[in-house]
Amino acid sequence: MTTKDMIVTGVMSGTSADGINVAIVRVPAVKRAASAQPARSSRSHPHFELLGHAEYSYPKRVRAAVLAAMNASQISVADLARLNFLLGELYADAVLATERKFQVKAELVGCHGQTLYHQGEAQIFLGRKIAATWQTGEAAILAARVGAPVVSDFRPADMAAGGQGAPLVPFLDYVLFRDPRIGRLMQNIGGIANLTAIPADSTANDVIAFDTGPGNMVIDAVTEKLFGQPFDRNGKIAASGRVLDKVVQKILQRSFFRRTPPKTAGREEFGREFVREFLGHCGPCKKQDAVATTTALTVRSIADAIRRYAIPRGGSNRKRSFQEMILSGGGAKNIALVAMLTGELATLGLRLRLSDEFGLPSAAKEAVAFAIMAHETWHRRPSNVPSATGAKRAAVLGKISYP
Ligand SMILES: Nc1ncnc2c1ncn2[C@@H]1O[C@H](COP(=O)(O)OP(=O)(O)O)[C@@H](O)[C@H]1O
Ligand SMILES: [Mg+2]
């Protein structure tokens, strides 16, 4: 039983490896009686109050090191160990700067860490079937610098319970966005794009969640390679190019898109190799056409996934099972992407809304999710959504480091 309000900070650094998102929330001791739908344009929810959020880019060299370490087939173990401690320091800097900015002090921190490898599905390794995941960023360092306990390493406990260890954010989606009358699709576009589908009037068991495919990751990589810029700011380049439909159709034939959820993707699926193959399909096209095409790939893979996997499982009255999509993540800032997505959704009878409209700024959403999950762990309550991860049971997620 929770006896007092708690100030909890969530720290997220996603597969884009762009940097660190920090969100500070107050979690009430007793949840206020909730209308099922969070008040529009309010920062106060029955489950938390957002006190502040901030975003910090990784220094250029750190981003390069993180990207190089992800899925590397060869890397120095010493550098990996150092990177773990370095990220602990950078997370601490980010949390302390955010606390100063908003004049609050966290009593608890939830830190996702930086994923270096994720393989949700078990495969034979040295004669034994093993699934594996690895988030780095030393929580003991973070706890010591911030002076508060830190919950980290959320994914392994779900995998130990038979799940894929991802996605975890559906816990927040379900808590915040379920509605007795409106079926909702929560779409986050980070490095990878992931969808949480919550039919109207559903229980946690009805939640469907999975990765739809690449989010910004391939757009970033192609933009970097062809234009020497880390990402396509506001989608300007994509807006000036032409989509190569044949390439999009060809890529959508890949087995990942045809696999039934639950499924997760990462740099294993849409990393360097994939980018090479994608550019090969584009051939000698205009550079901006390649960026427009990778943007369209993200959008169409989302629409395709909704058509194939979400709508058919959205309840008996299929046509009306989902009415709106709530968008979050860095991809929400890509104007060309959002325009394409609005068009695709219209053909599915879906309205596009931003998570910001619900008092949850799109860039802060995942950081808030890890704050809320850390709070659950602190009280020894489970926070995985078994229908989303494929786990056989509910699990208390994470490990706790004390300052
Ligand atoms: N103004 C912008 N215009 C276009 N894309 C943006 C903008 N701001 C952020 N992004 C995209 O969002 C990505 C970061 O999104 P984020 O949600 O942090 O992903 P992740 O969780 O994988 O780190 C960037 O790499 C970039 O591709
Ligand atoms: Mg990020």
pLDDT of amino acid 263: 86
Residue 36 maps to a domain: yes
| Amino acid residing at 314 | G
Residue 257 sits in the same domain as residue 231:
yes
User: What residue spans of 103-212 are helical by DSSP H?
Assistant: 139-146, 155-160, 170-177
Q: Give the confidence band of 32 by pLDDT, cuts at 50, 70, 90.
A: low
| Ligand 1 pocket residue status of 190, Cβ below 6 Å | yes
Residues 75 and 218 in one domain: no
258 by Cβ neighbours in 10 Å (0-12 / 13-18 / 19+) ranks as exposed
% of the chain residues with pLDDT over 90: 83
Q: Which pLDDT belongs to residue 320?
A: 55
For residues 227-231, average pLDDT: 95
Q: Give the Å distance between the CA of 331 and the centre of ligand 2.
A: 10
pTM of the model: 0.91
Residue 247 lies in a domain: yes
> Is residue 29 domain-resident?
yes
CA-CA distance, 44 to 27, in Å (whole number)?
10
122 vs 226: CA distance, rounded Å: 36
The answer to whether the CB of 232 is under 6 A from ligand 1 is yes
Q: What is the pLDDT of residues 316-368, one digit of tens each?
A: 654 458 999 999 999 999 999 999 999 999 999 999 999 999 989 999 999 99
Nearest atom (ligand 1) to Cα of 235:
4
* Domain annotation covers residue 181: yes
How many CB atoms are located within 10 Å of the residue 201 CB? 14
Shared domain for 134 and 191, answered yes or no, is no
Is the distance from CB of 384 to CB of 397 less than 8 angstroms? yes
- Based on the fold, state whether residues 197 and 332 are members of the same structural domain: yes
Residue 316 placed within a domain: yes
Domain that holds residue 247: 173-358
Q: How many angstroms is it from 376 CA to the middle of ligand 2? A: 23
Residue closest by Cα to atom 5 of ligand 1 = 334
**Cα of 232 from ligand 2 centre, angstroms:** 15
Quote the distance between the C-alpha of residue 112 and its chain's center: 10
Alpha carbon distance 116, 98 (integer Å) = 25
Q: Which-ligand-closest: CA of 230? A: 1
Task: Assign 134 a pLDDT band (cuts: 50, 70, 90).
Answer: very high
Total domain count, the chain: 2
Query: Is there a single domain that holds both residue 304 and residue 378?
Result: no
1 within domain boundaries: no
Closest by CA position to 140, among listed 81, 92, 75: 92
The winner for highest mean pLDDT among 32-46, 71-85, 290-304 is 290-304
The reply to whether 126 falls in a domain is: yes
167 pocket-lining for ligand 1 (C-beta < 6 Å): no
Tens-place pLDDT, residues 57-115? 999 999 999 999 987 889 999 999 999 999 999 999 999 999 999 999 999 999 999 99
pLDDT at 55: 97
pLDDT tens profile 159-179:
999 999 999 999 999 999 999
Nearest to 163 by CA among 195, 226, 117, 119: 119
CB 231 within 8 A of CB 207: no
Ligand 2 center–CA 230 separation, angstroms: 13
Mean pLDDT of all residues belonging to the chain: 92
Same domain, 274 and 293: yes
Q: Which H helix or E strand runs over 363?
A: none
Closest residue by CA, ligand 1 atom 11: 330
Ligand 1 pocket, mutate which of 62, 112, 231 (most atoms under 8 A from CB): 231
Domain identity same for 146 and 197: no
For ligand 1, is residue 214 a contact (CB within 6 Å)? no
Using CA atoms, how far residue 112 sits from 52, 168, 300, in Å, is: 18, 10, 29
DSSP H helix total and E strand total for the chain: 15, 13
Q: Whose CA is nearest to atom 10 of ligand 1?
A: 330
Asked if residue 14 has its Cβ within 6 Å of ligand 1, the reply is yes
Helix (H) or strand (E) holding 349: none
Sheet holding 49-57, edge to edge: 49-57, 19-27, 6-12, 108-111, 150-152, 399-401
Answer yes or no: is 307 within a domain.
yes
**Quick one: 158 and 261 in the same domain?**
no
Regarding whether 128 and 216 lie in a shared domain, the answer is no
Please name the residues in contact with 228: beta carbons below 8 A apart, sequence gap of 6 or more.
Answer: none
Is the pLDDT assigned to residue 36 strictly greater than 50? Answer: no
Sign of CA dihedral 279, 282, 285, 290: negative
Residue 65 sits in the same domain as residue 140 = yes
- Considering the domain architecture, whether residues 178 and 161 belong to the same structural domain is answered as no
- Same domain, yes or no: 353 and 371: no
Span of 47-51, 280-284, 318-322, 368-372 with lowest mean pLDDT: 318-322
Q: Any idea what the CATH number is for the domain that residue 70 is in?
A: 3.30.420.40
